[in-house]
Structure 1
Amino acid sequence: MEQFIDEDWYGSYFELAIQFKNKLSDDLLRDCIHGLWSNDHLFGPCIEKENVGKGFIDFGLVSGEVFSNYLYGILTLADSTLLGCLSLTVREEEGSDWLDFCIPSGILEKKYSVTYPLIPEKNLFLQELETVFSEIAKTVYSISPFDMALIGEEVSGMLYVDSLTKDYVLKGGVIIPEKTAAKAGALNAGIRISSDLLLYPNKTNCF
């Protein structure tokens, strides 16, 4: 398994940011993160990035407190490209819980010729990442339905579901439940990835 050194983990994040308006219990949060890391494209996680590719944690032996830390692993793509990746949680004091899955731009630059901003029309490899991210979101949603997920560069905290409009949805990089899509007036524009979940592929990613 490929190793990634400290100097690789730099830059902005291309991320999947999942918003839960209602706070999750530690046990449910653990289940969501376990579900995230159960994706067939992922190896991990481990608590320290220097251990990526060496050994991973046993979800049955950890408490919810460990998820206040970053968790690291490796994402493998169809062409066998390996990318260092991480997950993290943000539990707002008087707001939402967020579950983020990220790939640092430094990791991407190690594997690809990267053009900024990180949008698929400038970086075709991001299309496959968006597909994987939507698979991960689908799994997490099946464990605990979320209110919204965003895909793009540094999107965490840039938009909340209560501020979601049709224009934002149609710009892409959004995954929302059917009822939220209907409320935004964008129900027919999305790609259904489960019975109750719609993906709007990333276009400009300008929130």
Structure 2
Amino acid sequence: MTNAASFREPGNWLGGFYELAIEVGPTGDDDRLAAALAAVWTAAGVEGCVTGRDAEPEEQPEAPCTLASLAGTGHLQGRVRLPEGQLVVCGCMVVREEDGSDWLDFYVPTGALDAAGVPARAGLMSYRSAVLDDWLASVATEAHRTVSFPLALVGWEVSGSTDAATLAGRPPAHRTVGYLLPQGGSLHYAQANA
């Protein structure tokens, strides 16, 4: 049986990402992006912070949870405990849109979710778990208390599927992913319903 928390298990990193994708704001605000990174890492309760996948976290130097560390390899990795108690590999990356927004993507690879036995509705091009959606929404809500942002999305491979300007403050009625939008100083969570 595969250990879902092992960095050396190549299957743990396969299959796409179950994500919390946060539209942090206009591209170029490094202080805001760095604050969002720290807030999400803390809110998710990530154990460790490293830049490599070829060795277990305890076998490599700890990396600071900063944009500079992230810029070196494109990803920061650690381990996170899921709501039902399974310890799995996880990571974070940044997407900077030219003339657009900075996005912070916190993810758990679906290979690790499969290894952990997380029940989900799998399809040809998707992966869905209401438990993970709710957990990632709670991570976004906690992070939003530190750094406000215009939009967060939760689900399988959600990054870049829309943006706050397109939504104009309202989630669609038919939702294949979860949407978190600010309303009255806090985040409103519109769960996936399709």
Question: Fold conserved (TM > 0.5)?
Answer: yes
Structure 1 residues 46 and 155, CA, compared in 2 at 3 Å: closer, same or farther? same
- Matched to 1:28, the amino acid is R
Partners of 1:167 and 1:38 in 2: CA distance: 27
Partner of 1:111: 116
Q: What percentage of aligned pairs have identical amino acids?
A: 25
Offset at 1:41?
3.6
Pair 1:51–1:35, CA change in 2 (3 A): farther
Q: CA deviation at 1:15?
A: 0.6
**Aligned: 1:197 with 2:187:** yes
TM-score for both structures, normalised by structure 2: 0.80
Q: Cα deviations across residues 11-64 of structure 1 (Å, max 9, x unaligned)?
A: 1211111113323532332221111111264213211123454163234xx5x3
Selected match of 2:153 from 150, 153, 159:
150
Deviation string 1:145-170 (CA, Å, 9 cap, x unpaired) is 11111111111111112222756255
| Residue 94 of structure 1, aligned match among 95, 99, 102 | 99
Q: Distance in 1 between matches of 2:29 and 2:140?
A: 19
The AA in structure 2 aligned to 1:168 is P
Give, in angstroms, the shift of residue 133 of structure 1: 1.0
Gaps of 5+ in 2: none
Q: Which has the higher contact order (CA 8 A, sep 6+)?
A: 2
Give distance in 1, aligned partners of 2:94 and 2:44: 21
**1:37 maps to amino acid:** W
Assess if the C-alpha contact under 8 Å between 1:26 and 1:65 holds in 2: no
User: CA RMSD, aligned part only?
Assistant: 2.5
How many pairs are equivalent? 180
Moved over 3 A (4+): 50-53
Please list every run of 5 or more consecutive structure 1 residues that lacks an aligned counterpart in the other structure. Answer: 120-125, 180-194
TM-score by length of 1: 0.75
